[in-house]
Structure 1
């Protein structure tokens, strides 16, 4: 049987589900509608019996059911009804002009427009009638409708074509899915950790809330400006290894440190000096010049464009000024400690205590900033980030047997004004000088002030002939009570006070000869350093 080209498919009636009554309860097997001559009389309600399980899919029946035997008159054809549900992916093709019949619901069940529909048994009027299908759906065996003549209609089952993705699409999708999963895992883990902290009742700062602006004159600001110019120094030779600190003195590769840090490398062809910068780069260094009298040394590395630290005015420092010490204590590079200036003009002997020739006399700045072995040669800076001293020595408790101690809050630095003068001499000439007055001091004297020796020491006269002291009228046995108005009570105090000056400077000494006291002006001479 063929379907005309202009034919429209007719939906199989049946409402929304197989258990709903047909729209027309008086449909005849011929497919035509017949009306009764007299109004139908509703059948009496039968005795309620146990209802079958209601269908959750069917809407309520909203038309009364009449007995199937009531005669009807032939009238207009039945209007098309909504399609009956059928298996997904299946289309039933019905010839034009044919209206299939459906079994009517049992007349014993009254219509209930407000309650749920009751599933009714459907007779099988098509049993034994042959039919054909085109296409199948797994697990579905649809019952074909028949026309007025009982000729079976052809049921056409159309399966939707399944679409597949090629490998060209699948592989990128898999990669994207894996990447999304990885990102999701990371984000999820962080969110989970935050959730755990929140569940534990711990306060969590929002992202970016801890950002703090550091002022340039804060410790963090000072450290940020100083650290790139501070270096670590290691000396390796036949006598062992030594470590210390230093900093950039000039941008063309000149560095400054303590003499006692590199002392064993002087004159040794097998000793190496390695300088490590803050970025971890290393350079071999050579000695430009050194002096044991001031415990200073200048090194040179083959690097250009370094950032030098500024040398401040150490004469402007006062007790109580905040300071920052930077260096590599015990090899821990980039260590920053803070404190204040605890005292000024402390006479300190630095260098190797076992060798008197390497003893340095420093008119030192005292600080309580933590300074430990390895800090030697590193800078002590003020609140402006300017170098006011080079860390050189620490005090040890009386009676201590340890030759290598830690900080007890008493550290000492060479004043920057001394560093400026001596380092400049070492760069220019490779050696340095220091000022003298031309006298020998009596280390055995215990009275007020310091006394000029009365005896010859190691072939040297107490007062140098035609020296500054002799020209000023100082004699053996005189007692020097003050220098430039500052009292002195120890020979080292007078020595460091004089060495803090520059050759050619004039100082005023308050001198006592016998029972008389006087001020004398002395022009300082110079002597080469060791």
Structure 2
């Protein structure tokens, strides 16, 4: 796909309590820290629910949760872990929620953004020993032009100015650099090993309440989530969870029972027709750690990420099953890019793509999400319908050109 036409989903601004993260919507404004500001975000998903990214409610920008791929950073094999209670240190079994929280909370930060009337906060987490922090793009978007400032706050209240290393709108990820002392990176697990029913723990700053820990299970995998305004969409093949995710969780980690990051919390569900409603309803969405690790490593290395494409333009007016390639140019150039992966595989204008690697494709967004979840250079098999007949084709994904 090449620069697909705008998705039919948008971030719908919404309000919750103080501190809701989001992708630069309009609405009530608050100053940046010290008073804890808020921000909000709201995408939509499918015909049943609207997705609202975790964010900061009163200002207009932040949200989140985070994830990555196992790099080390904590002892998950000990039989007990020291946790802190109001009465002092206590021992908890390794693998318990209390043990996971004791290890992870110090490595999760609150991200404050001051961009005038678009100030707010979200969450982030320590990715490596070089001081890189992972968060959502929609958390820092308001300050990305250089007109605002970004501050990272640790659990002990220590604050430090952060610089933006790189961000990617399409994957809703951003990397910050900050000078942190005595903080260990979180290990990053493999989201490809996650199964429905796995127990998970989310850590972040929902509603401005830092160091908040919630738990639940993985309730679905490969949930196609498309969020954002026209031309600024994020395409996520998301991990769905019933762990409580609220505005302000955006950019924080979703952890497995070993304390490894398996996702970055990025969105929550909101019932359609209720733009004023907000908060957890048991359906949250995280960017899988396999995608996070690929994208974050690229952002750290070059400041930008590459996006795999097949080289077609999709027909957004088509309402049938599958994703139909435009039948004519419609002012956008050739529907099938000459010499691109789809062209070399034999895809023609008007073909309907109904499967990718044996998995059904129901909508154009689902196709985009499935392709974006792959890596440049991956080989995929697609099934298309043409003149009432199905045929399979194999192609190698290429990087989208700027």
8 A Cα contact 1:222 1:384, kept in partner: yes
Asked if residue 470 in structure 1 is aligned to residue 359 in structure 2, the reply is no
Comparing both chains, which one has the higher relative contact order based on Cα–Cα distances under 8 Å and sequence gaps of 6 or more?
A: 2
Q: How far apart are the structure 2 equivalents of 1:333 and 1:259?
A: 20
**Aligned: 1:337 with 2:214:** yes
> Where in structure 2 are the equivalents of 1:398-477 lying within 5 Å?
398-402=272-276, 405-477=278-350
1:386 aligns with 2:260: yes
How far apart, CA to CA, are the structure 2 residues paired with 1:245 and 1:468?
Answer: 38
* Cα 1:412/1:528, change in 2 over 3 Å: farther
Alpha-carbon distance in 2 for matches of 1:279, 1:304: 11
* Alpha-carbon separation, structure 2, partners of 1:375 and 1:254: 18
1:382 and 1:388 in contact (8 A); partners too: yes
Q: Following the alignment from structure 1 to structure 2, what is the Cα–Cα distance between the partners of residues 507 and 211?
A: 52
User: What does 1:84-123 correspond to in 2, within 5 Å?
Assistant: none
1:21-69 CA deviation, whole Å, 9 max, x = no partner? xxxxxxxxxxxxxxxxxxxxxxxxxxxxxxxxxxxxxxxxxxxxxxxxx
Distance of 2:88 and 2:376 partners within structure 1: 55
- Shift of residue 268, structure 1, vs aligned partner: 2.6
Match of 1:311 among 188, 194, 198: 188
1:292/1:357 contact within 8 Å kept: no
Contact persistence 2:165–2:175 (CA under 8 A): yes
Contact 1:252 1:306 in 2 (8 A): no
Q: Does 2:373 match 1:500?
A: yes
TM-score by length of 2: 0.76
1:115-514 aligned at under 5 Å gives the runs 213-269=91-147, 271-303=148-180, 305-350=182-227, 353=228, 355-402=229-276, 405-514=278-387
Paired residues of 1:239 and 1:264 also in contact (CA < 8 A): no
Q: 1:525 aligns with which of 373, 389, 398?
A: 398
Q: Aligned in 2, Cα 1:397/1:250: closer, same or farther, shift over 3 Å?
A: same
- Equivalent position of 2:33 in the other structure: none
Is residue 455–residue 461 contact of structure 1 (8 Å, CA) maintained in 2?
A: yes
Unaligned runs of 5+ in 2: 1-86
- Residue aligning to 1:150: none
1:211, CA displacement in angstroms? 9.3
Secondary structure, counterpart of 1:280 in structure 2? coil
Q: Contact 1:251–1:304 (CA<8 Å) still a contact in 2?
A: no
Deviation string 1:295-324 (CA, Å, 9 cap, x unpaired) is 000000023553101111001111010000
Counterpart CA distance in 2 for 1:511 and 1:241 is 46
TM-score (norm 1): 0.58
Q: State which structure, 1 or 2, has the greater radius of gyration over its C-alpha atoms.
A: 1
Q: Which runs of 5+ in 1 are unaligned?
A: 1-208
SS in structure 1 of the partner of residue 183 of structure 2: coil
The CA distance in 2 between the partners of 1:518 and 1:304, in whole Å, is: 57
Higher strand share: 2
Deviations, residues 480-510 of structure 1 (Å, cap 9, x unaligned)? 1111111110111111110011001100101
C-alpha separation in 2, matches of 1:358 and 1:253:
28
Deviation per CA, 1:9-32: give whole Å up to 9, x if none.
Answer: xxxxxxxxxxxxxxxxxxxxxxxx
Alignment partner, residue 28 of structure 2: none
1 CA distance for matches of 2:354 and 2:341? 17
CA contact (8 A) 1:252 1:304 kept: no
Q: Aligned residues, how many?
A: 316
Alignment partners' CA distance in 1, 2:251 and 2:301: 20
After superposition, the C-alpha distances for 1:172-214 in whole angstroms (9 at most, x for unaligned) are: xxxxxxxxxxxxxxxxxxxxxxxxxxxxxxxxxxxxx999641
Q: 1:431 to 1:528 in 2, by over 3 A?
A: farther
What's the secondary structure of 1:358's corresponding residue? coil
Say which SS state the counterpart of residue 357 (structure 1) adopts.
coil
Structure 1 pair 385–458 and aligned structure 2 pair: CA distance change class (3 A): farther
CA distance in 2, matches of 1:305, 1:474: 54
Shift of 1:528: 5.0
Task: Give the distance between the partners of 1:224 and 1:525, measured in 2 at CA.
Answer: 42
Distance 2:155 2:183 in 1: 12
Aligned residues: CA RMSD: 1.7
Whether the aligned pair in 1 keeps the contact of 2:376 and 2:398 (CA below 8 Å) is: yes
* Distance in 1 separating the partners of 2:296 and 2:272: 33
Tell me the distance in 1 between the aligned counterparts of 2:249 and 2:226. 17
